[in-house]
Amino acid sequence: MFDSKMKELEFRTGAIKPIECVKEAFSLIKDEYWVLLVVSIIGAMIAAVSVYILIGAMVCGIFKTYLRKIDGDKVKFDDLWTGFKYFRPSLLVTILIVVPIVVWTAILVVTLYLPLIMQLPQGSGPLDGDEMMRSALIAFSVDAVVALLMVCLHSLLIFCFPLIVDKGISGWDSIKLSSRAVMKNLGGIGGMVAANLGLVMLGFLTCGIGIYAVLPLLTASNLVAYRKVFPKLV
């Protein structure tokens, strides 16, 4: 039993080819693309309405739905609701993802917007060009550093939610296992981050509306990459 569990948690290295993951993902989900989009949007709406308290549960439910499709089955919308049973296991991962975003936003406000607002009561008129440039450079530098740190953190956690859903492990165990797998697949994960950015930029080219349309492809691509590293045991 122990050997079987250890085998289940083994992972591959060097298996992620980002462009191939995107192509394979589209091929796998194209026949139920819009159903998966609805699942993603409803899950995101529930997370937002709950002030993101349920974001972990909803992400787990969404991933459960997508993994079923990627593993060759038909989409079951009810899989979204199974995410609620992963609320506790996913809570630690949710905190590690959401808190840095809140901190990033606070830093952005303090370094960019607050200095500009503080100038208004002084009655000195608009900032001159040098002050504006200095404030912008400081804000950009701080924001860039924090953004880089966040990308690194989130990259280490990229497999956490799928592991919780797929392997039934705890949040802490998923963090340790995801981090090890990512460190052994840094090239592929870096490529997936770049591919995700490319898909997001493609979505924004259509006045931002297209970002919703690429959500299923984004999610499925990352889960195909997950399956390359953690193949389903038959």
Q: What percentage of residues in the chain have a pLDDT greater than 90?
A: 61
With 70 as the cut, is the pLDDT of residue 119 above it? no
2 pLDDT band, cuts 50/70/90, is very low
**107 domain-assigned:** yes
Q: What is the pLDDT of residue 128?
A: 56
**133 domain-assigned:** yes
Copy the structure tokens of residue 8. 């289940």
Q: Which domain holds residue 162?
A: 14-30+96-229
Mean pLDDT of the chain: 86
Q: What is the pLDDT of residue 122?
A: 53
Lowest-confidence segment of 56-65, 169-178, 202-211 by average pLDDT? 202-211
Instruction: Compute the distance between CA of residue 114 and CA of residue 137 in angstroms, rounded to an integer.
Output: 14
Q: What is the pLDDT of residue 101?
A: 78
Tens digits of per-residue pLDDT, 135-178?
A: 667 767 777 777 788 888 889 999 999 999 999 999 999 999 99
Question: Which of 233, 212, 218, 175 has the alpha carbon at shortest distance from 63?
Answer: 218
- Higher-pLDDT residue of 2, 35: 35
**73 domain-assigned:** no
**149 domain-assigned:** yes
**90 domain-assigned:** no
Lowest-confidence segment of 13-22, 51-60, 124-133, 201-210 by average pLDDT? 124-133
Contacts of 35 (CB under 8 A, 6+ apart): 75, 77
Instruction: Compute the distance between CA of residue 230 and CA of residue 222 in angstroms, rounded to an integer.
Output: 12
Count how many domains the chain has: 1
- Higher-pLDDT residue of 195, 2: 195
**51 domain-assigned:** no
**47 domain-assigned:** no
Q: What is the pLDDT of residue 125?
A: 53
Tens digits of per-residue pLDDT, 61-113?
A: 999 999 999 999 999 999 999 999 999 999 999 999 888 778 777 777 776 66
Task: DSSP letter for 53, please.
Answer: T
Tens digits of per-residue pLDDT, 38-50?
A: 999 999 999 999 9
- Higher-pLDDT residue of 151, 228: 228
Tens digits of per-residue pLDDT, 175-190?
A: 999 999 999 999 999 9
Copy the structure tokens of residue 157. 């956690």
Instruction: Compute the distance between CA of residue 52 and CA of residue 75 in angstroms, rounded to an integer.
Output: 25
**84 domain-assigned:** no
